[in-house]
Copies of this chain bind each other. A is one copy, B any other.
Amino acid sequence: MMWGCVTDFFTYETTKSVVVKSWTVGIINRVVQVFIFSYFVGWVFIHEKAYQVTENSVESSVMTKVKGFGYHNNYVMDVADYVIPQQGAAIFCILTKVIITENQFQGKCPEYSKKYSCVEDEDCVQHIDKILSNGVITGVCLNSTIGDKIVGRCESEGWCPAENDHVEITPMLDVINFTIFIKNSVRFPLFDVTRGNFLSTMSREEIMNCNYHPVDSPFCPIFNVGDILNYTNQDLATLANKGGEIGINIQWKCNLDYDIENCVPRYSFTRLDKPFEKNAISNGYNFRFAKYYMTENGTEFRTLHKAYAIRFDVMVTGKAGKFDTIPTLINVVAAFTSIGLGTVLCDIILLNCLKGAKQYKARKFEEVSDAQIEASLAQSPVSQLSLKGGIKSSYDSGAISLATSDQAM
């Protein structure tokens, strides 16, 4: 009994096949198989590299350094003056135009803008609690000297005098000659691979004296601001006057199945406010900051700066792929199974369209009906004999019939 089970277990089941020696179906069969096979090899495996596990999230650290001098308001500005924040961050601004309101003290004073013109106090009540003024509107109308005229303006409380940001100032166009040095190191945590954006073959001198060019010098980490504006089709005068946001994208696309030295960065440049073109809003980029001073007697005062700036966002994206058994297996399995799909097509042709379809059907399908089984059960002894060939396998356990089905998959 035990022995029988063991014998039954160590059997091998394979599907019984009908071999159709027909040129029509034979050729269709092979052509479909070749077609599916090429698709998998060519597209899925070679082009899409489905045998690799890929990692999209990259750990990145960016250090930047700007160099250059510019004239603004008869001042020579250097890095410490025009770069904010100063510590070499991945997102930094180069100030191109600064509207300065000097010597602001806390107090009450008239607003500057025409919007706040008034004749009597009632005119100012509507502006109370609005946030676009220079300070808290008190609801009082004051006389104010603007240029050489005396006009009525609502009073506001805060830093005085109020800012006038409608002055015309020539932006610092020298920004076109500035250079940006970018140091970027990335790590793919999944593969524990670390890379830097200088080729290891570049010497110190090469790196210090190069200038990025997409074709001639694609791995140079020094970028000329003028070039970047060109790549993004920006007009210097407009950008310097209104400010703007430019993205410097560093893309790492690494095939770690090859030599690690082929894992190099690719730089691209975009204007970040491009998606907002359709809205007529917020062209440009500006912000306000203040420098604080103290008088001899200890009163604080400040100089307000409304700064128009070109903001550079260095954004790093990475994708690394490496051979891995699991995606390979899944895709190989999908490939083989898809090749099996050819059978569906051929079966339809064979069993429906070919001359002799009925005969093929008769050979492919063997029919057992309830009626037959009932009949054979009734005339038991004889039928048992006639079915003799298969009777022994009637001791097959469920496990075996499961295995059969596995193979059928």
Determine if B396 and A365 form an interchain contact, defined as CB atoms under 8 angstroms apart. Answer: yes
A146 on interface, CB distance cutoff 8 Å: no
Q: In the complex, are the beta carbons of A362 and B407 less than 8 A apart?
A: no
Whole-angstrom distance between the Cβ of A408 and the nearest chain B Cβ: 5
Among A89, A195, A348, max chain B CB count under 10 A is at A89
A338 at the B interface (CB under 8 A)? yes
* Contact residue among B48, B365, B409 (Cβ-Cβ distance under 8 Å from A326): B48
Residues of chain B lying within 8 A (CB to CB) of residue A360: 368, 373
Binds B, one of A112-120, A164-172, A277-285: A277-285
Q: Separation in Å of the A321 CB from the closest CB of chain B?
A: 13
Decide: A340 and B409 in contact? CB cutoff 8 A.
yes
Q: Which of A78-86, A147-155, A230-238 contacts B (4 or more CB under 8 A)?
A: A78-86
Tell me the residues in window 124-149 of chain A with beta carbons closer than 8 Å to chain B beta carbons.
Answer: 129, 131-136
A69 touches B131 (CB 8 A): yes
User: Is the CB–CB distance between A14 and B370 below 8 Å?
Assistant: no
A344 contacts the other chain (CB 8 A): yes
B294–A293 touching, CB < 8 Å: yes
Q: Which residues does chain B contribute within 8 Å of A43, judged by CB atoms?
A: 325
Distance in Å from the Cβ of A8 to the closest Cβ of chain B?
8
Question: Is A226 located at the chain interface by the 8 A CB criterion?
Answer: no
B80 touches A136 (CB 8 A): no
Contacts A/B (CB < 8 Å), 29 sampled: A11-B21, A13-B17, A13-B18, A14-B408, A15-B16, A20-B369, A21-B369, A22-B373, A23-B370, A43-B325, A48-B326, A55-B56, A61-B313, A67-B131, A76-B158, A88-B285, A189-B317, A194-B270, A194-B275, A200-B278, A200-B279, A292-B293, A293-B294, A333-B338, A348-B402, A352-B401, A362-B393, A363-B390, A365-B393
Instruction: Taking A76-B135, A361-B390, A361-B391 as given, write out 15 further A-B residue pairs in contact, using a Cβ cutoff of 8 Å, ordered by the A residue number.
Output: A11-B21, A14-B18, A14-B346, A15-B16, A18-B366, A60-B315, A87-B93, A189-B251, A189-B317, A196-B274, A196-B275, A203-B279, A291-B292, A339-B407, A348-B402
Which chain B residue has the least Cβ–Cβ distance from A9?
B30
Copies of this chain, how many?
A: 3
Q: Is A331 among interface residues, defined by CB-CB distance under 8 A?
A: yes
Give Cα A80 to B57, complex, Å: 34
B185→A274 contact, CB < 8 A = yes
A-side binding surface: helix, strand, loop or mixed?
mixed
A368-401 contacts to B (CB < 8 Å):
368-370, 372-374, 376-377, 383, 387, 389-394, 396, 398, 401
Q: Which listed residue, B23, B185, B294, B401, touches A348 by the CB 8 Å rule?
A: B401
Q: Kindly provide the distance from the CB of A303 to the nearest chain B CB, expressed in whole angstroms.
A: 8
Cα distance, A99 to B377, chains bound together (Å): 99
CA gap between A258 and B55 in the complex, in Å: 24
Whole-angstrom distance between the Cβ of A315 and the nearest chain B Cβ = 5
> If A136-B69, A290-B80 touch, does A362 touch B389 (CB 8 Å cutoff)?
yes
The 10 closest A-B pairs by CB, nearest first: A362-B390, A196-B275, A10-B26, A76-B158, A356-B373, A21-B369, A86-B289, A80-B290, A344-B405, A365-B393
Docked pose: A53 CA to B71 CA in angstroms: 51
Residues of chain B lying within 8 A (CB to CB) of residue A305: 80
